[in-house]
Amino acid sequence: MIRWKVFLPVFIVVALSLWFCIYRIDFWLKAAFENAISAVTGTKTDITYLRVSFRNSSLIIKKLEIASSKEEFKNALEFSDIVIDFQSLPLLEKRFVVDDFSIKGITWGGPRRKSGFLPPQPKDDKPSWFSEWADEAVSKVKSEFGELPVAKLADFRVPTNVDEVLTTLNLESEKALRAALVSAQESKTEWTRTISELKDVSEYREMFSQVQRAASSSPQTPAEILDKVKVIQTSISFFENEKKKADQLLNQTQAEWKKLQATYKMAVDSIEEDYKRAKEVVSLDQFDLKNLSRLMFGSQWMDRVELVLQYHAMIRHYLALMKPKEESKVEVRQRAKGRDIIFVSPKRKPAFVLAHSGFSVTGLESNNANTVSQTYELELKDLNSNPRLFGKPTEVDLDLRFKNWVMGEAKLDMFWDYTGSPLKDRYKLEANRIEASNWPVGIPKIFPVKMAGGVANSSSLLSFVDDEMKWTNRVNFVDISWDFREVPRIGFVIPAISEVLQKIKDFFVEFEILRKQGNFDFIVRSDLDDKMQKALMEVIEEKWKAFQAKLKLAIEEKVAKYRREALAEIGRYKKDVLGKVEEKKKLAENYQKQAEARFKEVQNLAEKKKKELQNKVKKEAGDKLKDITKQAPKIKLPF
Amino acid sequence: MIVGLSPFFAWHNLVIFLLVFLLRVNLSMFFMATAFFAIIGFFMDPLFDRLGYFLLVELDVARSLWIWIASAPILPFFRLNNTVVMGSLALSLITYFPVFVVAIWAIGQYRKHWKEKIKDSKFMKWFKATKLYGLYEKYQNFQEKWENLV
């Protein structure tokens, strides 16, 4: 049944194939590593030497060069030696378990012999890990930057022409004073007409002369008395009526007068309002100086944010390809042919595990092993290819110390918990003694300021829970010297800002980026804004004091004519309307009093006459009675 | 049939190749069948994917077996957790016996009724005259010499 004659050649062929595979694995792995790193970095990657030893269970890589994306003959990063000690038996289970991992010697920006540029590749629209929401949010914030009044900073100039400002203002006080004048004129006309409806003074005199006449001659008969009383009483009621009318009119005209005065006062107050508005037109509030730090540091920071968010999306994509669901027991990964089913079970183990590894790497200056300029201490904990299967979060701590470099020291702690739902990750970075000259700042074209000296100390905390994000980054700038060489000396505000900024040495800038329930917020806080605003306002106030005084005077002059006229008209109203009504009232009162006095006189006279007549009648009656008594017969009574 | 239906670079195909070479199997027939079933397999990939998904995910009773295969040494390299590999392998194993019976019967029928006719047909005469057949003859001669030598 078995072809024994074929067995030997087949065995030899299989053995040779196996030997060839083992012999070639170094080349294949080398190419695979180079291609994989190049795919991520987008630049050429070269490995000078790679050796896999199954006997020693180790993978040694010597001189791993990652080319710079900007300079053709420069490396971005270069590692001298990388040693990975792995376990052999798990390889049979298609697992790569790393016992120890170490890197020796790291160089930044070293030279390279061959070009590091890759042949132009057809660009994919977007990589598979591309984060749509990050792209959308960052684009939105960037478009908001476009709407900030940046151009106004350059265009703004101290106004010199008062009339120009007043014309744009369209003074409200002028209108109000004119309205007050018209109102006073109309009221005067209307009330003068109403006053004319009162009886004339000549009528008062005529009426009073009747009273005088009635009172002048003493009445001889009761009928005469009655006539006189009637005449005087009619006059009194006439004057009383007139007085009432005048009184009523006085109340009404006084109310109107108060109204006119209030209108005038409001018109005068609006002069002050106009002045305030005029000041606002020429103030710096329109530039929203509270946002100055956002303008100076924000847009550059957004570029970094975009980069970090996309790198984060990439990490997530590779570490948590499938968003885990509590109830699911399998993960499905799409392949070119069919689908791979990953069973989530306590018995399963991830394909790649690096349980713990801690080592330090020294950075070499100019690739010279004798000159160490950087030290990196890296601690990796529970690095694995399938966090759900592994069941433990991954931690990476990196301590960096630099000598004569753009940064003094930095500490980066990274934490990923993709073992369940929700996905959590946290990145904490503290970087000290960063050369401030490397920190991007300024408003392109308008205010391209730079930091020439000083240091920045930065602390940053970025945390994610699923797609919800919070990133707080605080940078303390110390002993900053500014470089204004490229700043154009245009307008008024830019030189003023430069002047103020020159004096500011220490300040902080805090960036906060939040993503909550789909909303993305970018907040920039800084004590620079308050300092700048205060100092700028002082400079502006000083420069504008004279102009503002001129502005006030011009407003007052412009409304003075109407103010004067309105005041005069109100005065005339008082004199012509109120004065007349009061005069009429007084006159009516006076005549009424006099008429009443006359009436009393006539009454007294009538009383006197009445008494005289009574006495006379009494006497006559007495006399008559006496005569009758005398003439009567004397009768003597018998008793 | 198994080699033809399942993806060519599956590791179980290597095992079958070794068996084919070690055991007395008609190699011509093996390669012909592989080519024939590879064409069928190309069109049946969606069916293999669905069948594989059913077996791997929906068939709960088999779950522990798949987990064991995924965790055991060497077996993970066979990529049995891939739906197309699993589906094609399962279908070819299920249809193995019926196809075997049908093939035996069909060969008998062929030998009885068609062998001579085909041998004398114009097509076979033309085919024997081609270079390809010449190469096959040379290989056959080499094989005979090699077997005699060994």
pLDDT in tens, B121-135: 888 889 888 888 888
Chain-chain contact of B71 with A347 (C-beta, under 8 angstroms): yes
Contact check, Cβ <8 Å, A3/B22? yes
Q: Name the one residue in this structure whose structure tokens are 């990274």.
A: A414
Span A187-205, mean pLDDT? 82
The candidate with the shortest Cα–Cα distance to B10, out of B99, B86, B96, B104, is B86
Contact, B31 vs B13, CB < 8 A?
Answer: no
Report the percent of chain A where pLDDT is more than 70.
90
Write out pLDDT tens, residues A53-105: 988 899 999 999 999 888 888 888 888 889 999 988 888 888 888 888 888 88
Other CB atoms closer than 10 Å to residue A284's CB: what's the count? 19
* pLDDT at position A326: 47
| pLDDT higher than threshold 50 for residue A322 | no
Q: Looking at the partner chain, which of A93, A339, A340 has a beta carbon nearest the beta carbon of B73?
A: A93
Whether B71 and A6 lie within 8 Å, measured CB to CB: no
Cβ neighbours of A348 in B, within 8 Å: 67, 70-71
- Which of A211-225, A358-372, A415-429 has the largest mean confidence? A415-429
Q: Could you give the dihedral angle defined by the CA atoms of residues A599, A601, A607 and A613, in that order, rounded to the nearest 10 degrees?
A: -110
DSSP label at residue A123: P
Q: How confident is the model at residue A455 (pLDDT cuts 50, 70, 90)?
A: very high
Q: What is the pLDDT of residue A155?
A: 66
* pLDDT tens digit sequence for A528-566: 888 887 877 777 677 677 777 887 888 888 888 888 888
**CB–CB of A46/A65 below 8 Å?**
yes
- DSSP state, residue A470: E
Q: Is the CB of B7 less than 8 angstroms away from the CB of A330?
A: no
Of B7, B56, B147, the CB nearest to A337: B7
What is residue A286's predicted lDDT score, i.e. its pLDDT? 58
Is the CB of B76 less than 8 angstroms away from the CB of A335? Answer: no
More confident position, A395 or A271: A395
What is the average pLDDT score of chain B?
Answer: 88
- Residue A328 pLDDT > 60, yes or no? no
Q: Is the pLDDT of residue A327 over 80?
A: no
pLDDT recorded at residue A219:
65
> What share of chain B has pLDDT > 70, as a percent?
99
| Sequence-distant contacts of A91-97: CB under 8 A, at least 24 apart | A92/B73, A92/B74, A93/A349, A93/B71, A93/B72, A93/B73, A93/B74, A93/B76, A94/A351, A94/B76, A94/B77, A95/A349, A95/A350, A95/A351, A95/A352, A95/A353, A96/A351, A96/A352, A96/A353, A97/A352, A97/A353, A97/A354, A97/A355
The span from the CA of B11 to the CA of A639, in Å, is 187
Q: The tokens of A393 are what?
A: 């979060």
- B82–A339 C-beta distance less than 8 A: yes
**Contact check, Cβ <8 Å, B81/A340:** yes
Q: Which of A7, A329, A343 sits opposite B70 (nearest CB)?
A: A343
Instruction: Give which of A509, A500, A510, A502 is closest to A531, Cα–Cα.
Output: A500
Q: Which helix (H) or strand (E) holds A354?
A: strand A352-365
Confidence tier at A325 by pLDDT (50, 70, 90): very low
B2-29 burial, b at 16+ Cβ within 10 Å, e below that, comes to bbbbbbeebebbeebeeebbbeeeeeee
Residues 6+ away with beta carbon under 8 Å from A325: A421
**Each residue of A297-308: pLDDT tens digit?**
887 788 888 888
Q: Pick from A505, A410, A424: which is nearest to A469 by CA?
A: A424
Instruction: Tell me which residue of A382, A460, A458 sits closest to A426, measured CA to CA.
Output: A460
Among B51, B56, B80, the residue to mutate for chain A (most A Cβ within 10 A): B56
Six-digit token string for A633: 């017969």
- Is the Cβ pair B84, A349 closer than 8 Å? no
Average pLDDT over every residue of A40-60: 89
DSSP letter (8 states) at residue A635:
-
Q: Which residues of A562-573 are buried (b: 16+ CB within 10 A; e: fewer)?
A: bbebbbebbeeb
Are the beta carbons of B56 and B86 closer than 8 angstroms? yes
Compare CB distances from A340 to B67, B82, B146 and report the shortest one's residue: B82
Mean pLDDT within B15-24: 86
Confidence (pLDDT) at B125: 87
The model's pLDDT over A560-600, given as tens digits with 9 standing for 90+, comes to: 888 888 888 888 888 888 888 888 888 888 888 888 888 88
How far apart, in whole angstroms, are the C-alpha atoms of residue A505 and residue A480? 5
Q: Which of B17, B55, B57 to mutate to test the interface with A (most CBs of A within 10 A)?
A: B57
The rounded mean pLDDT for chain A is 82
Q: What is the DSSP string of A436-458?
A: GGGS--SBTTTB--EEEEEEEEE
